[in-house]
């Protein structure tokens, strides 16, 4: 028995599928030149997603009821992301939405900080950034070296480097994590705006998913006002990384959904190329089963937002499945198919990106594997 | 590990033709390993014309493309010294495709071996949780499995027939991905991204026939 979506979520799925067509129409152009801002700004779908991704009180205008469901629950995010990425995940990742920075401000920011962050987004429609990963500590966030040093006047100075940050060069507002002391509990997040003295950003060339525009950000004594440091109103244990765990769970699941969406796109292309062929059935079933898994996990996250295992299971599976689906397509289409179908070639590059976003496969395995046998019940 | 040394315990010595093929395989692997995919591909395609490719495109070393020939725009391949040109497909004996697949497989094996060495170097220079990343068990498992995969592929090139060669190329693609993952995001974005592994896959997609694909 498959998961039954409500009529509202079914409508979200259908409408997202229609929006996906516009993402698909500019997919190759964005891949070739992801820095063309005018192209991205003129996309009606990206504009709608930008507004939908902004909390309701800060939206510049109302969105259709079906679109609101996109951000109301994790299940809504999963349903929408699968269909949108089925259009093109590279373009989807070019959206100027609050994204991970927004989730972090939601989790760690007080009312004034949320007001400041979202007003800025509503007025100027900036791309956002989220600075966590560092060049030497990709998978080990607790070992980060970026420092938030107090100044004599009560403000702070930010020093360090972040790498593999989406919108590192074009982002105008975002969140950066840094440590104020030696222990992991001293890691804090601050809202940062560009331009700022000592704040630099460059773009890195990517093999795929180029709409994400990953890059490197440098901080050479960037001044940070004390009111821009998040989590001051929270208990010490909730001010930093651990406080943002819920945000990471949602994003991890979104990435899993996008990976599955690209896998579906690849699968669709094969079926169009071989319309009478029934050899797709095993792969079709695997994709449908993965969608069931994601729906179930989304419901779990909606009920238990702090449990990191279910989203990790989902992402580990669908990122691998997407890569495998690309290889399957290559194996069932004639020689030269990857170049004959530029979208297929691009998607085979794109799917590799998900491995490195919000937890590599090995990090997820460590999160999923039990640390010990479960305790026995009873005597 | 040496791959062309005669084994004194074998009753049957390789024939002259087999010995020659082993030497060619070793040369292609060495070229791929020491000088990259374009050098390996140049050796693999020696004496082969573009129209022998089984599909609509041929992957060539950029230096081998005749002046004035239209080339498919592919910046990533261009950086690796590889160009894609359209073919006028003609029928060629299956043995010709088999020979190309073997030699290209050897060249790709060389680039995969190079990627393996780069991954070990990268992981040895990094620490995680206060320990060299290369010593993490999950990482060691991947390195062991890919090492085994390389050794098996090297032997497979000696004996693989037509269909098995397609499988061998697919396994090289899978090995490249397992190794690329070990480089983390640095293997996907920035100046050290492993574009060569993907271009290697595209080259195989151009030159290796696929029975049953329609």
Alpha carbons within 13 A on the beta-carbon side of A167:
24
Write down the pLDDT at residue B89: 82
Can you tell me which residue has the tokens 């029928």? B91
Tell me the CATH number at A136. 2.40.110.10
**Are B57 and A333 an interchain contact pair (Cβ–Cβ within 8 Å)?**
no
Residue B2 pLDDT: 45
* Mean pLDDT, residues B37-50: 96
* B119-145: average pLDDT: 94
Q: pLDDT (tens digit, 9 = 90+) per residue, A221-271?
A: 999 999 999 998 888 877 877 777 888 899 999 999 999 999 999 999 999
Give the angle B42-B47-B51 at the CA atoms, nearest 5°.
90
pLDDT score recorded for residue B19: 86
Summarize chain B as % helix, strand, coil (round to 5). 65, 5, 30
Give the separation between CA A132 and CA A126, rounded to whole angstroms.
19
B77 belongs to a structural domain: yes
Smallest Cα distance from B177 to chain A, Å: 9
In terms of pLDDT, which residue wins out, B209 or B130? B209
pLDDT in tens, A65-119: 999 999 999 999 999 999 999 999 999 999 999 999 999 999 999 999 999 999 9
- A115 within some domain: no
Evaluate whether residue A108 is within a structural domain: no
State both tokens at A95: 């959206």
Same domain assignment for residues A64 and A83: yes
Q: Give me the interface pTM, i.e. the ipTM.
A: 0.93
Q: Which of A237, A268, A290 is the last residue of a domain?
A: A237
Angle (CA) B149 B177 A279, round 5°: 90
Give Cα separations from A156 to A150, A162, A217 (angstroms).
Answer: 4, 18, 18
Taking the Cβ of residue B65 and every Cβ of chain A, the question of whether any pair is shorter than 8 Å is answered with no
Does any domain span residue A350? Answer: yes
* B202 in A contact zone (CB under 8 Å): yes
**Closest CB from B170, B188, B206 relative to A356:** B188
What pLDDT shows up at residue A236? 80
Q: Which of A237, A254, A276 lies at the terminal end of a domain, its last residue?
A: A237
Q: Which of B93, B74, B96 is nearest to B83 (CA)?
A: B74
Together in a domain, A363 and A259: yes
| Residue B10 clears pLDDT 90, i.e. is over it | no
Cβ contacts of A139 on chain B, cutoff 8 Å: 128, 184
Average pLDDT score over chain A: 94
Torsions phi, psi of A141, nearest 5?
-65, -30
Which residues in B lie closer than 8 A to residue A141 (C-beta atoms)?
none
Q: Is the pLDDT of residue B64 over 70?
A: yes
Identify whether the C-beta of residue A338 lies closer than 8 Å to the C-beta of residue B76. no
Q: Are residues A253 and A361 in the same domain?
A: yes
Binned at pLDDT 50, 70 and 90, residue B130 comes out as confident
Residues on chain B touching A331 (C-beta within 8 angstroms): 166, 170, 210, 213
Q: Is B129's Cβ below 8 Å from some Cβ in A?
A: yes
Domain boundary among A210, A237, A264: A237
Residue A375 confidence (pLDDT) above 90? no
| Structural domain boundaries, residue A339 | 243-368
What residues pair up with B58 in beta bridges, in sequence order?
B85
Tally of structural domains, chain A? 3
Domain that residue B29 falls in: 16-207
| Count of the separate structural domains present in chain B | 1
- What CATH number is associated with residue A325? 1.20.140.10
The runs of H, that is alpha helices, within B16-136 are: 16-35, 37-44, 75-79, 94-125
Encode pLDDT of A40-74 as tens digits.
999 999 999 999 999 899 998 999 999 999 999 99
Lowest mean pLDDT among A360-364, B3-7, B77-81: B3-7
Is B114 part of any domain? yes
**Measuring CA to CA, which residue among A3, A15, A27, A23 is closest to residue A344?**
A27
Q: Does B6 touch chain A (CB under 8 A)?
A: no
pLDDT confidence bin for A167, thresholds 50/70/90? very high
What is the rounded distance in angstroms from the CA atom of residue A277 to the CA atom of residue A271?
8
Q: Looking at residues A6-24, what average pLDDT do you find? A: 97
Residue A25 has pLDDT above 60, yes or no: yes
Task: Tell me which H or E stretch contains A303.
Answer: helix A281-303
Q: Which residues pair with B132 in a beta bridge?
A: B127
- All residues of chain A having their beta carbon less than 8 Å from the beta carbon of residue B189 are 164, 204-207, 214, 356
Per-residue pLDDT at A349: 98
| B104's tokens | 């290209």
CATH of the domain at B192: 1.20.140.10
Query: Cβ separation of B181 and A360 shorter than 8 Å?
Result: yes
**A205, A216, A336 ranked by CB distance to B205: nearest:** A336
- Say whether residue B55 is in contact with chain A using an 8 A CB cutoff: yes
Contact: B55, A331; criterion CB under 8 Å: no
Closest residue, chain A, to B163 (C-alpha):
A331
Whether residue B11 lies inside any domain: the answer is: no
Is a pLDDT exceeding 80 seen at residue A195?
Answer: yes
């Amino acid at each position: 028995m498959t998961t039954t979506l409500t009529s509202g979520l079914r409508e979200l799925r259908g409408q997202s599928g229609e929006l996906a067509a516009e993402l698909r129409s500019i997919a190759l152009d964005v891949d070739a030149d992801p820095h063309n801002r005018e192209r991205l700004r003129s996309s009606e779908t990206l504009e709608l997603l930008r507004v939908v991704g902004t909390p309701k009180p800060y939206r510049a205008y109302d969105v259709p009821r079906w679109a609101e469901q996109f951000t109301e629950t994790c299940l809504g995010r999963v349903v929408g992301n699968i269909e949108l990425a089925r259009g093109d995940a590279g373009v989807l990742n070019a959206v100027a939405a609050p994204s991970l920075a927004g989730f972090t401000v939601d989790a760690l920011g007080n009312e004034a900080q949320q007001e400041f962050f979202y007003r800025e987004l509503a007025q100027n429609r900036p791309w956002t950034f989220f600075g966590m990963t560092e060049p030497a500590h990709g998978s080990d966030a607790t070992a980060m070296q970026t420092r938030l040093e107090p100044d004599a006047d009560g403000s702070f100075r930010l020093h360090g480097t972040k790498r593999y940050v989406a919108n590192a060069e074009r982002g105008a507002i975002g969140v950066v994590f840094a440590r104020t002391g030696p222990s992991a509990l001293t890691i804090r997040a601050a809202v940062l705006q560009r331009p700022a003295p000592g704040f630099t950003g460059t773009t890195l060339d990517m093999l795929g998913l180029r709409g994400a525009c990953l890059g490197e950000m440098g901080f050479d004594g960037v001044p940070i006002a004390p009111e821009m440091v998040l989590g001051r109103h929270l208990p010490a244990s909730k001010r930093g990384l651990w406080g943002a765990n819920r945000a990471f769970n949602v994003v991890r699941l979104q990435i899993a959904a996008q990976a599955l969406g690209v896998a579906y796109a690849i699968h669709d292309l094969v079926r169009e190329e071989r319309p009478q062929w029934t050899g797709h059935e095993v792969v079709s079933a695997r994709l449908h089963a993965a969608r069931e898994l994601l729906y179930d996990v989304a419901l779990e996250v909606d009920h238990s937002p702090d449990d990191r295992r279910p989203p990790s299971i989902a992402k580990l599976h669908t990122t691998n499945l997407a890569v495998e689906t690309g290889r399957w397509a290559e194996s069932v289409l004639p020689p030269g198919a990857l170049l004959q179908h530029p979208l297929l070639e691009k998607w085979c590059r794109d799917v590799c990106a998900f491995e490195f976003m919000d937890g590599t496969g090995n990090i997820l395995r460590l999160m999923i594997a039990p640390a010990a046998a479960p305790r026995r019940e009873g005597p | 590990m040496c791959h062309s040394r005669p084994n004194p315990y074998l009753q049957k010595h390789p024939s002259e033709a087999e010995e020659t093929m082993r030497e060619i395989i070793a040369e292609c692997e060495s070229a791929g390993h020491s000088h990259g995919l374009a050098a390996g591909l140049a050796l693999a395609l020696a004496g082969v014309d573009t129209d022998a490719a089984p599909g609509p495109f041929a992957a060539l070393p950029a230096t081998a493309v005749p002046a004035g020939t239209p080339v498919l725009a592919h910046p990533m391949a261009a950086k690796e010294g590889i160009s894609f040109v359209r073919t006028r497909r003609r029928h060629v004996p299956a043995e010709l495709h088999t020979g190309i697949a073997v030699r290209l497989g050897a060249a790709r094996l060389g680039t995969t071996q190079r990627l393996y060495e780069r991954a070990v170097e990268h992981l040895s220079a990094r620490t995680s949780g206060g320990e060299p990343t290369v010593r993490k068990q999950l990482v060691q498992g991947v390195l062991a499995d890919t090492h085994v995969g390389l050794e098996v592929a090297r032997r497979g090139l000696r004996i693989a027939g037509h269909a098995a060669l397609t499988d061998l190329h697919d396994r090289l693609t899978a090995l490249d991905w397992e190794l690329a993952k070990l480089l983390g995001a640095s293997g996907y974005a920035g100046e050290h991204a492993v574009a060569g592994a993907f271009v290697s896959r595209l080259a195989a997609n151009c030159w290796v026939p696929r029975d049953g694909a329609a």
